[in-house]
Each structure stands twice: as structure tokens, then as C-alpha cells.
Amino acid sequence: MLERREVVVDAELDSALGRGTVRAAIRIAAPPSRVYAAMTNCETALTFVPHLRECVVIDRDPQGRFEVISHVSDVGWFMPTSRYMFRADYDPPRSVEFRHVAGDFRENEGRWDLIPVDAGRATLVTYRVRVVPTIPVPQWAVRGILKRELPKLLQALRDHCEAAGP
């Protein structure tokens, strides 16, 4: 599937508890350093992340090991605008681990891993996240967001990184 440029998504939803865990993967024809640079830059993220309306670095480690970031996203008419802060811990260009700090989630934690493939000319990006919103979210909305929006995000990351050139 990944060789055919598809996004692989596996979601576990617990409707009784209103939470979900998602794992996804995509292959990007760009080196991990380029993918990592796109993922960890607020200004760049605003150009390709669907529904992201604001990205602001609130705090930054002088050595670049972590940032605290504020996001505002607007998925659409059926969901309220989300405002949240998270701490991103960096291991360039291999991984980004994030966890909830404040905002519209009780839990929002996960990890991006960037694995070099094709002698480092391409990257296998894996993503996993566990999300528990503070407000009740209808299961149809959660399913729709996971099935539509996560692949859109990963495809947009791929398109951005591959358009940047060799």
C-alpha cells in the first residue's frame, strides 16, 4: 500500500469513553531532514496542514530540544474551533513526541517517527496519537475526521516535502 503512495490508517475508537487512538503511515520521496524541517516549523505548517488556522511557539528550549506550541484549528461547521497547546520534544531528524499542555483536549499525546528508506532519499513517516476531547464529540464526526482528515494531513505533508525538490 505504501509503495502505491497510499496512506495507511488504523484507528481504535472507544465510543463509551469518547476517545480514540490512531496510527498512520505514509512514504515520502524526500529525505528525513526535509520532512522533519517541514513538520517542526509553524510558518511552514500553516501552508499545508488542513484546517490549521494558527500556530505559535509559546516557549522554546535554547538548545532546540523542545517547544511549547499553541494551535487553533477549524475542522468545519459540525465541530467547534479547537484551541490547544502541546509540548513537542525533538530528536532531529528522527522523531517528534508531543503531549497535551492545555486546551480543548483532556489528552492529546503521540509521536511522529521518520525512518530513512531508499538509502535516505525517502522517508517512512509513522504517526500515532491518542486523543480525548473535553467536550462530547459524536462518533460519526470522530470517524469522519480520522478517515478523511488524517490522510489529507499526511498527503499534504508528502506533497509539500516532495515539491521542495531533490
The whole-model pTM stands at 0.88
Domains of the chain: 2-163 (3.30.530.20)
For 77, phi and psi rounded to 5 degrees?
-60, -30
Task: Give 137's DSSP letter.
Answer: -
**CA torsion angle 44 48 53 54 (round to 10):** -20
Q: How confident is the model at residue 81 (pLDDT cuts 50, 70, 90)?
A: confident
Tell which wins on pLDDT, 143 or 147. Answer: 147
Q: What is the pLDDT of residues 16-75, one digit of tens each?
A: 555 567 889 999 999 999 999 999 999 999 999 988 999 999 999 999 999 999 999 987
- Rounded CA gap, 133 and 104, in Å? 6
Section 76-89 average pLDDT: 84
